[in-house]
Each structure stands twice: as C-alpha cells, then as structure tokens.
Structure 1
Amino acid sequence: MSGAMDGRAQDNGRVYQTTGDQHITENHHYMGSGRAPMGGPDSVRRPAVGHTPLALRDRSEVLARLREGLTSGRGAEVYVLHGMGGCGKTAVAQAFFDIATVEYRRVGLWVNAADRAGLRVGMLAAAADRGARDGELLAAHQGHRPAADLVWHYLDESPDPWFLVLDNADDPAILRDGSWLRGSPRGTVLVTTRRAAARWWPGAELQHIGVLPREDAARVLCDLAPHSGTLAQAAEVADQLGRLPLALTLAGGFLAHQVIDPWTMDLYGRRLEEDEAVELIDQGADVLTEEDPRHLVGRTWQLTLDSFEERGLPQAVALLRLLARLAPEPLPLSVLNRPEIGAVLPLARTETALTALLDHSLTQLVDLGDLRCAHSHGVLLDTVAAATPPADLVVLNATAVRLLDAAVPAVPAAGPYDPRLRLLAPHVLALLRRTAEPSGTADALRVATRLATALHRTGDYLSAWETASAAAALAARTLGDEHRLVLAAYARTGRSLFRLGRYEEAEPMLRRVRSTQLRLFGADDPDTLDTGQGLQLVLGNHGKRQEAVTLLRSVVAGRQAALGPWHPATLRSRVSLLAMLTAREVAAGAETDDTLLSVPQACALHLGPDHAVTLNARHNHARVQFVLGHYQAADDEIRQVVDDYQRVLGPGYPAVLAARQLHAQTQTALGHADAGVDLMSAVVVGRERSLGPDHHFTAVSRDLLEELRSGRWRPPQPPV
C-alpha cells in the first residue's frame, strides 16, 4: 500500500482495503440467544422490588377500587397511586399485582419508570413478552422506529389481558415526552408516583396513599416483631414514627432481628426520643442487601431534593429546610407569606417553592375551617433537618423565629378564641427543640412566652399552660433555670395553672419564681411585679386573702413607680384591688378613696371604653356596688357589662360567665328569684363545659346555684 487509508469505521463496522484480489466472507449473527437486542431487565413478569410485605394493612378501600376496574371488564383504565415517599405505594401496587395475576389470571408486567433508560428497556421488554420480534425491537432500540408505538401496538394486540405497573414514575415528563403512558382495551395500567398534581395524569383515576390509621400501623409492627410488645405499646411507637409504612417496616425489621440483646417496643420508643431518630430507623434495613435510597428514610426523599437542584428549583429545597425547623403539624400559610422569609428565599418565589413541594408530595394542604395550612410528615422533616448543612442553621432558625414572631400579636389582648394561635404553638416548641445556640433559644423563648400569654388572654388556658411549661423546660436546657426569660415563662405557666384550677401547683411555682426574681432583680423589677400580680390571684382564691391584699398593694405601688399610674399593667393591678376589698374596707374610706372607686373612668380615659381592663374595672365596680347593698345600681351596671363582654370578647369568654354569676345574684337580691336561678343554671352549664366539673370556679358556681334554688342564699348587707 502506498496511499493513506481512506475508509473510516464506526461502532462495530470494519474497513477492508487491499491492492490485490481478495475474497472475504463474514457471518454476522444477531439475537442468537433470544434476548432483547440491548440489555434489559431480567424479568417483567415479577415486581422489581424487595421483599413482599408480610401484611398489607388498611389498603382494602384502595384495592376494592382497583378490583372494580378488573371485574367490570372496562378497558383502557389508568390508575395513579400518589403520595409521599415511604407511604407504601409500591407495596399496594405489588399486592394488587398478585391479585391481578393470581385471581384474575392477568398477564402481569412490571416496569421501573424511575428514569428514561429504565423505562425504555422495561417497556420494550414488555413488548417482547407480548410478541414483538427481534428485528422490530432492534429497530426501536436504534431509533429507527418509535419505541412507544411499537410497545403499545403489541400491548393492544395482546391475546391475553394484562396488568401493567409503572413503578416510581416520579418524573411524569419521562412518560409524557415519549407518550409512554396510554390506555388499552386489553389491559389496565397502574402508576405509582410522588407527583400529586392532576395535570400530570389527564384521564387517569387518582388515588392518594397516605399514612396508616393508628391501629393498623400498630399491627404492622406486631406483624413484623410479634414478641417485642403489646398492640398498645406498638401504637405508641407507631405515633412516634408518624405511622409511615416505610418507617414502620424498618422499625419492625430492627426489632425482629435483635437476637443477642432483644429490644422491647418501649425501649425502641425511648431511644427514638433520645438518639438520632433517622439513623435508628434506618438500622432496620437489611445490611446484607444492596442499599436502595428508596428503602431508607434517611435517603428516600433526597432523590427529590436532588431533582429540585437539577431543575433550577433551589428555593423548594430552602423552603423544605425552613419547614424542617418547625413541627409536623398544620402551619397556616399566612406565616410563610411575609417579607421575613426573604433571608431564606425570595418572598416572590415562595409560591413556586411551595407548589413544587406539594406537587412532589413533600407537603400537603389541609383546610382547618377558614385556615389553609401546609402539613408535612414528621419523619420527612427529621430527615431533612438531619441533612441540613450546619452552616445554614443560624439563618434558618432566625428566619423561623421572625416568621412566628410576626404571627403572634405584639401586645396580646383579651378577646375571642383565635384558632391560629393554637396552631402556632407546636411550631414554636419544635423550633426550641432544634435550637441549641443561646441567643437563638432566647429569641424563640420570647415568642413562645408571648404566644402563651396570647392564648391565656383568649381563654385557652390549657394551651397556654402547655406552651409555657414546655417552652420553659426546653429553653432551660440551654439558658439555665434562672435566666430572666426562663423565669418569665415559668411565671406564665403558674398563671395558667391558676386558671385551670390547679392551685396546689400554681402557688409554689409562682412563689419559687418570685423568690428567685427578688434575689436576682429586686422587688421593683417589672418581671418580679408581674409574678406578684399572678401570685396574688392564687392567694386570693386559695383562702389567703389578707396576704393577697398585702402583696397586691405592693404590686400597685411598684408598678406606679416603675411604669406610671396610667400604664395598662398599673391599671390592671388597681382593678384587681377593687375586686379584693370587703364591704367594710370599701366603706371605711381609708382603704378605698374616690381615686380607687373611679378606676373605671380612668381606664376608659387612658385605655378606651372597650379595652379588656376597662370592662373588668366596670365588672369589679358593679361588685363593689353589690357588696355595699346598692343592688339596683349593681344590677344595671353588670347587665351592661355582660352585653359589652359578649360584644367585645365573645359569648364564650370566661369573664362572661363571671359577670353572669354576679347578675344572677343582683337579680335574686332584687327579688327576682326565678330569673336568678335561670341565670345561675346557665353559668354552671357553661363552667362545666369550659372548665370541667371539678374546677374550683365550677364548684363555687354549683354551690351558689343550690343556695339560690333552696332559698338559703342571702345577699350581702351594707356595712353599718
């Protein structure tokens, strides 16, 4: 050869170049083994998943709907099972695959649709199963003919009815772009996906797969680890795991395989609280099998988060990390729709980020009356929190505090029950649990205590106590028991205990807090005075009136000196003093002068006529009129107070019942005994409903009603 070689070869082609006569014979054999032209799954006749679930709990309604499609003989049915990762969509599909193939004699076909390559080879393997020839499959593999058309041609022409599962179709664009998802008169298609938006599945019947009911979740644990505990103990663990099937399966597997030192369900539950919960749950995975991210709670959602980054949606990841600082409870969407969120993601992008989370089943919308909320699963939030870069935590925690701070009234006021406040409580407490830095803990505790105050002043004393006590305990781990903010939270706890009628707990707590505040801050410190205001209420209702009066006078003097005579806190203490004095003390004049008796006018002037302190002042002034024997004046005043309480604070507010009780007494004192009994009967019913039958206030009202009914009650007589 004298010249350069002119030929070029590609792939498996060959070039022959010679100067003489040559005879070349080549034999090429394709598909000699009968396999697909290119690598494909080993089988499409069996689910490409791990172990078959030992028991499928609480999916009977879903399976019944799927059975209808097979039983009716309708063709071209497409069902979509959607839900968050780990909720058991594949397990449901696997269970129904067995039903379709065994009971209904359908040809079962299972294709993993997680990515384009797997979907393509799987669907072509399904076509081969239905009779596609080697040459056709080769042409489709090489792009010489439309692959989806070939597959659906053979599915439509199948001599046997079939049931096709497209598993893990979390990117619907893969199915849409190649037109891989179609209906056929010869079979039924079932898709499992995390994508919930109906726009991805036109013409399909959608079925949400959520977490299990409590009893069924407990039975899953007992199925897997029958000797680890009772059904009741399993239910407690199931609640800690959010009743997520994947987490239940891993936990049950862990308990079942503890041989040398077996664990009980109670021990497992305690360790979930003490240890890194996500790591403990994932220890239930079979260490001898190949790790699959979808089979570990610590990684199952990372697939979706990675896709957000790849698709240019980092704001969705940022929003989920922000939500992971909060609780797995409904969060009002209004909390997220504030400029304070800008430190984590632009406010203008919040809508897009939330939509992405909803579309991928990473959160869901729930309507609670007029409130629309986002609700995310606890195991998901724990997983995201554990994987959040430590460098991001300060900004995330600070942003969460600012958002919650903006949602709580700056100056909590008495008023009707506000459901939004109770919804905020678990999120503030969750943030305290996740915050370890002192300044961040202090900021979160300020919000928690103010929220507890707001709950208290709407009459939700139980939520106020739960919020304040939990917040104080959580913050004390970082700040210490004698930190100013921790002491204030404990004081708020004591005041709520008083309203709940738990005097035996409230008094020592408030005494202990006040003693510490006196030692650290002094008698005239605003926090010390606040605690004194709360303590005197307990003392006055606990048979220690004289000590209460002495303490209250010191609080009035201290607040006047520190805050001025017309500050709301000062006026509130003076109003309390008006309610504490006896008829003799009032009449004496030395104890109560015209200034004290004119407190209602001062409150109206400086706070407004509808301020809660003003209304309370008028209420207490009516009581003074009553104990002085001015029954008609007291009746006229308290009747108007009841109307104004209901108008301003709502008919269910606790003060309404207290005012009606006084009204029942004034009516009876004026000779209207039947009206007094009717009013008092309504008070007893209201207090039993709101406070419970054993509350001190309820017992006092019940005793008064019996006295009114029996005619034994006598009104107070004017002092001589």
Structure 2
Amino acid sequence: MGAELGLRGAADDSSAVVRKLRAWLEERREPYLVVLDNADDPDALTPFLPARGGARVLITTNDLAFERIAAPLPVTRFTPGEARRYLHDRVGVIGDAEPVDELIDELDRLPLALAIAAAALVGPPRIGCAAYLRRVRSTPVEVLLDRPRGEPYPRGVGQTIMLALDGVGPHARRLLGELAVLSPSGVSLELLGPEASGALAELGAVSLLAFSQDGSTVLAHRLVRRAVRDEAARDGGLASLIETAALRLMFVERIADEDTGRKLPMILAVDEHAAALWESLKPLLDEDAAGARAAAEALSRIRHVIAEHLLYVNDGTRAVPVAQTAVEGRERVLGPDHPETLDAVYTLAHAYEFAGQAVTAVDLFADLVARWSRIRGEDATETLRARAGLASALSTAGHADEAVELLETVVAAQSRTLSPDHPHLLGSRFFLASALVETGRPDRAAELFESLVADRAEALGADHPEALVDEGRLAWAYLHAGRFEEAIAVYEHVVPRQERVIGADHPDTLITVHGLASAYEAVGRTAEALTRYEHVARRLEAVLGPDQPLTLSAARGLERARRLATPN
C-alpha cells in the first residue's frame, strides 16, 4: 500500500513504511476504510492503527484479545431462517423431502461451514442434502470442511479449528477435549471449578468456545467438538478422554443424603453429561478399544450413584433409565454376576418400584434373590437384603400379606447375624412395619415404628434424614389406626425438622406434609387440610413432574379436600 501511494523510499525498511503510512492516514480528512484481515496478534497490529483522521479500521479475527484495542462487532452464527435463506440463495430450490434443517443443525449454523456445504451441494457433481448429511456425519471435520476451490475464504472450517487448537497450551487443550465429549448443551462453570478459569479464557480468546448470556455456562461449537473428538479417535486417545471427563463427575459421590434435594439440579446436569459420555463410549466398547473398559467402569459407577440420589428423592421415573445404564455398563465390563453388577440391579429394581412399576420390580428382585443364593448362599447378607427388597415390592404390588410373611423371616435371620444398628436390618424392619399397615394391622405397625424410631435415632441421631422418615411413618401408622391426635402431634413435630435438615421441597418433607394434611382432614380441619394439600400438589409437580406416583397421589388428595370444602 505504501508503494502504491508513493510513500516508500528506496532505503525504507518495513517499519519506516508503516510509520509513513500511518501518518498519511492520520492526515486524511476524507473517509478511508482500512481492512486488516485474519489478524492474530494485537501487539503486532497496534503500530498500524491510525490514532486520528478520517480513516476507519475493520479488523477481522477470532481472537477476543482484540477487544482491548477495538470495539467488538461479534459475527454470530446464522439463525435457522438465515441459514435456510443462505442455502437457497447459493444452491437454488431444495426439495421439501431433503433434510435441510438437519444439515443446518449438524453444521451448527456456522456461515463458513454452510458456505463450504453449499459449494459441495452445487457441485459438480451436484449432490442432495441427505447424501451430504451422511458425509458430514462420517467424515473427519478437517477433511470434510476443507476450503473448496474458488471459495473466497483463505482456509476451511476444519483447518481454522485445527490451527486455533495448535495455538493453545496443553491445559487448555485438555480442557477442550473434556468439553468435546461432555453434553453439547454446555457445561456449568460450577462443575469446571475456578481452576479452569485460565484455560477457559485462553480458549475463549481464540473463539474455540463461547459462554451463555448469563456467563454461567461454557459451550463448544458442534464442529469444534467434532474436530477434537476426531483427532482423539485417530490418536487412540478418545476412551482416555472420556474417562478423564467421567472422573470430573465423580464428585456426585460426595453429595450427602441431606443435600440431595438441594443439589438435584447439579445431579441432573451430571447425569446429562454421563449420558453423553456413554453414547460416545459405546462404539469404542464394541471395538474393544484401549481404555474403553476403564471408562465404562467409571461411568457405570457414576450413573449408579446418580440413580441412588434420585431414589433418595423418590424419583423412580428418572432413576430407571439411569440405573439401566449402570447395569448395562457393569454387565459388559464386570459380568452379570459380579457383586457390583448385582448391586446395580438392586437399585434398578427399587427404581421400578418407586416409578409405579411394582410387577417389574418383583420380577427383578426375585431373579436377584436367586442369583445371590447361588453365589453366596441362602442366608448371606446380600441374599437377605434382596429378599427384603422383594418383600417391599410385593407389598407395593398389592401382596402385603405375602410381604409380611417374607419380611418376618428376613428380620429374624438378619437379627441373628447383623448388629442391631446395621442399615440392612433397620431397612427390613422399616419394610415390615410399612407392610403391616397395608395388611390392616396399624397398631402392630406403630409398635414396630416406635421401636425403629428409637433405634435409628440412637444409631444416627434424632435429626438424621432417615430417622425423620421413620417418625413420619410412625405418624402414618397412628393415622391408619385412628389415633388422629397422636398422628397430628408427630407430623407437626417432624415437618419443621425436615424442612431445616433436607429442605422444604424435598419429597420426603412433602410426603410428611401430605400425611399431616390427611390427619387434618380426618379430624375435620378441612381448611387447614386444603392449604396443605394445595402446597404439596404444587411443589411435587414442580420438583418431580406431573406424572410421578407421588404427584398423582397428592393431586387425588387435593381433589378430595376440595370436594369436602365445597358446600353441597
């Protein structure tokens, strides 16, 4: 430019020419537009920028560090409508049967990717959207999205991504690898932790990732994710990358029972990430790729923990598919009769019971009893625990008398071999007392619950979440025995403690409030019952969803209370 303007002298080096050119621009009063394309270093570019005059400067870059020297004008992805119009303008009419929207989503609506796709669709040879979509899903990004001849861009999408990757440090690159295999909906900064801030800033500066509007979530473009995964697969490191990402999710094991309700959104986010990791891992397991078994073991462990957290908040509907994946993973890696596999089956059976599918739960528990009996023996701790689970499912399925008979033998056997405060024995006693209520023997159930409340409080403390559940069930037994004032007294004593320990929206707390509403209804305190029913129905629907058994039960109670409160 300096030579064309006659500014370059024979002895001038490049620095001298830059100074002359900058001075020339600063002296102009007429408007000039100076375009500095594909800039990658703000420090190197600064000497070129005029400080005054009529010139306007446009810098194109993917490095956000330029925000420190110029006002940013972000070039975002196309909207779906813009992407469709762009392809129509470039390609012409596309048949209604062609998967245009799928192709647009697969290319993440990136203008450069769509430009390359348009060139391929036009040809020669001309191909349809369906054929190109298949090619997109089966071809490495840097090959598929290379720059076609004649395109005005200096390089293709794949090349751009790989060049940006080459420019970041090893920590940032490892973090991007994890983001590439975690959920495409984004990863919360809370999950990544403050130690990731430097790597995130480095990746964001070169546009390899973006942040949500509220700054709480980091997102990697679909094509960036593809490029990183393809590279890891070629290098044989994809399974190791999945395992590293899975280990980041292991913190769910450290979430205490009393915190499960409060941290449920984070637990559900971890499950979404674990599901994405499992989908990426399954083909590697089929190929018996190096490291795949270790990754599968880690993911199965995580999903088993998540299923147990969901059961702790009585969410069997969401727990079932999570527990199924845990069982599938452990069967593939450890075998069908491994103790950890059978432990996952136990969780899955309870998930079916909590989800209102008691018959399926009975079948699973019966099979589990047979397998433990064969492996460990009839009176083994694991066999007796499975029998207690079978009895609980039988009671839920409407066979309470059979459940009581089975539980009495289990409790007797466990009492001979386990300490009085052993969790398995306390659980069996809970199941037995609950089944007795279902058989119409609430006074006998109340005696067992009274004893259980005392023993659990001594073992765990009076305000332990499980001890509070026992007290709530004691009130439930009093209610069924017609001992309404005693039931109300216990319910009113338990509710504020549960609200303090596990939270007002925890399903266990709401179950207790539901019982209190029933007790109020039984003694004619209809207005108070209605208020409680309304609260429980509203909160259970918000926490668990409208189709959960607990939510439906609360809705039936509310409807009944409204009928009672409405004069004939």
Q: Which interval holds the TM-score relative to the shorter structure?
A: 0.7 to 0.9
Classify the secondary structure of the residue corresponding to 2:207. coil
Residue 233 of structure 2 is aligned to residue 378 of structure 1? no
CA distance in 2, matches of 1:248, 1:533: 59
| SS at structure 2 position matched to 1:136 | coil
Give unmatched runs, 5+ long, in structure 1: 1-124, 339-346, 714-720
* Post-superposition CA distance 1:628-665 (Å, at most 9, x none): 22111110001122222222221212223322222122
Q: How many residues align?
A: 551
Identify which of 57, 60, 64 aligns with 1:196: 64
Moved more, 284-293 or 435-444: 284-293
Matched residues in 1 for 2:447 and 2:370: separation? 32
Indicate yes or no: 2:42 matched with 1:172: yes
Match of 1:268 among 133, 150, 153: 133
Going from structure 1 to structure 2, the CA distance change for 1:372 and 1:682 (only over 3 Å counts) comes to closer
Distance (Å, rounded) in 1 between the aligned partners of 2:362 and 2:88: 46
Equivalence for 1:182: 50
**Equivalences for residues 173-252 of structure 1 within 5 A:** 173-176=43-46, 179-197=47-65, 200-202=66-68, 204-217=70-83, 220=86, 226-227=93-94, 229=96, 233-251=99-117
CA contact (8 A) 2:392 2:403 kept: yes
Residue by residue over 1:35-59, the C-alpha shift from the partner in whole angstroms, topping out at 9 and shown as x without a partner, is xxxxxxxxxxxxxxxxxxxxxxxxx
Contact 2:145-2:156 at 8 Å conserved across structures: no
Question: Which of residues 416, 421, 434 in structure 1 aligns to 2:267?
Answer: 421
**2:505 maps to 1:683:** no
Residue of structure 2 equivalent to 1:301: 161
Partners of 2:29 and 2:511 in 1: CA distance: 80
Q: Is the aligned partner of 1:518 residue 2:518?
A: no
How far residue 527 of structure 1 moved from its aligned partner, in angstroms, is 6.8
Q: Matched residues in 2 for 1:301 and 1:250: separation?
A: 15
Tell me the residue number matched to 2:245.
400
Cα distance in structure 2, aligned partners of 1:528 and 1:170: 66
Q: Which residue of 2 aligns with 1:362?
A: 208
Query: Structure 1 359/692 Cα, relative in aligned 2: closer, same or farther at 3 Å?
Result: closer
CA contact (8 A) 2:79 2:109 kept: yes
- Amino acid in structure 1 at the alignment position of 2:73: Q
Shift of 1:138: 4.8
The answer to whether the 8 Å contact 1:408/1:421 transfers is no
**8 Å CA contact 1:417, 1:459 repeated in 2:** no
Structure 1 partner of 2:468: 615
* 1:567 matched to 2:422: yes
Alignment of 1:72-221 (within 5 A): 125=1, 127-128=2-3, 132-133=5-6, 136=8, 138-140=10-12, 142-143=13-14, 146-158=16-28, 160-176=30-46, 179-197=47-65, 200-202=66-68, 204-217=70-83, 220=86
RMSD: 4.2
Cα gap change, 1:261 to 1:546, in 2 (>3 Å): farther
- Corresponding residue SS for 2:59: strand
TM-score in terms of structure 1 length: 0.65
Give the helix-richer structure, 1 or 2.
2
Give the Å deviation of 1:426: 2.8
1:242 shift after superposition? 3.7
Matched residue SS, 1:581: helix
- Kindly provide the amino acid, as one letter, of the partner of residue 162 in structure 1: Y
> Cα 1:509–1:481, aligned 2, differ >3 Å: closer, same or farther?
farther
Paired residue for 1:444, among 291, 296, 299? 299
Q: Would the aligned equivalents of 1:673 and 1:708 in 2 still touch at CA under 8 Å?
A: yes
Q: Aligned residue for 2:287?
A: none
Question: For each residue in 1:290-344, what CA deviation from the matched residue of structure 2 results, as whole angstroms up to 9, or x when unmatched?
Answer: 99884133x3222123233xxxx33333333344343334434455559xxxxxx
1:219, 1:562 → 2: CA distance? Answer: 74
Report the equivalent of 1:700. 553
Using CA pairs under 8 Å that are at least 6 residues apart, name the structure with larger relative contact order, 1 or 2.
1
1:507 and 1:584 mapped to 2: Cα distance? 19
| Aligned mates of 1:213, 1:561 — CA distance in 2 | 69
Query: 2:58 is paired with a residue of what secondary structure?
Result: strand
Work out whether 1:578 is the aligned partner of 2:422: no
Could you tell me how far apart the structure 2 residues matched to 1:554 and 1:261 are?
71
1:100-128 deviation per Cα after TM superposition (whole angstroms, max 9, x unaligned): xxxxxxxxxxxxxxxxxxxxxxxxx3x45
Cα contact 1:224–1:252 (8 A) shared by 2: yes
Output the CA distance in 1 between the equivalents of 2:339 and 2:118.
45
Q: Give, in angstroms, the shift of residue 398 of structure 1.
A: 4.4
- The amino acid that maps onto 1:359 is A
- Distance of aligned partners of 1:578 and 1:432 in 2 relative to their CA distance in 1, 3 Å threshold: same
Contact 1:364 1:376 in 2 (8 A): yes
Work out the percentage of aligned pairs sharing the same amino acid: 25
Aligned-pair CA distance for 1:190 = 1.8
In the other structure, the counterpart of 2:501 is 648
Closer/same/farther in 2, CA of residues 640 and 262 from structure 1, 3 Å limit: same
Alpha-carbon distance in 1 for matches of 2:124, 2:468: 65
Query: Alpha carbons of 1:366 and 1:566: their partners in 2 closer, same or farther (altered >3 Å)?
Result: farther
Equivalent AA in structure 1 for residue 370 of structure 2:
L
Matched residues in 2 for 1:479 and 1:220: separation?
A: 51
Q: Does the 8 Å CA contact 2:189/2:218 hold for their aligned counterparts? A: yes
Supply the distance in 2 between the matched residues of 1:563 and 1:241 (Cα, whole angstroms).
Answer: 60
TM-score for both structures, normalised by structure 2: 0.80
Displacement after TM superposition at 1:624 (Å): 1.1
What residue in structure 1 maps to residue 175 of structure 2? Answer: 319
1:170/1:195 contact within 8 Å kept:
yes
Instruction: State the SS of the aligned residue for 1:431.
Output: helix
Are the equivalent residues in 1 in contact too, given 2:183–2:276 (CA < 8 A)? yes
Aligned partner of 1:78 in structure 2 is none
Whether contact under 8 Å (1:229, 1:264) holds in the other structure is no
How far apart are 1:626 and its partner, in Å?
1.3
Note the C-alpha offset of 1:421: 2.1
Matched residues in 2 for 1:690 and 1:328: separation? 24
Deviations 1:144-201 (A, max 9, x none): x62222222333345752222222212223213xx1233543232222222224xx44
Match of 1:121 in 2: none
Contact 1:687–1:697 (Cα < 8 Å) also in 2:
yes
C-alpha contact 1:222 1:234 (8 A) present in aligned 2: no
Give CA-to-partner distance per residue, 1:568-615, whole Å, 9 cap, x none. 3442342233223238754675xx595553101111111222222111
Deviation of the 1:687 alpha carbon: 3.7
Describe the SS at the equivalent of 1:227: coil
Distance 1:224 1:557 in 2: 78
Contact 1:285–1:295 under 8 Å retained in 2:
yes
Q: CA separation in 2, counterparts of 1:697 and 1:277?
A: 48
SS in 1 for 2:64: coil
8 Å contact from structure 2 (residues 260, 309) kept in 1? no
Aligned twin of 1:341: none
Q: Return the match for 2:482 from 617, 622, 629.
A: 629
Match of 2:63, SS state, is coil
Alpha-carbon shift at residue 620 of structure 1 (Å): 0.5
Which stretch shows the higher mean deviation, 479-488 or 184-193?
A: 479-488
1:222–1:230 CA contact under 8 A, matched in 2 = no
Aligned-partner residue type, residue 185 of structure 1: G
- Aligned-partner Cα distance in 1 for 2:213–2:416: 49
Q: Distance in 2 between matches of 1:624 and 1:224?
A: 73
Equivalents in 2 of 1:314, 1:399: separation in Å?
A: 15
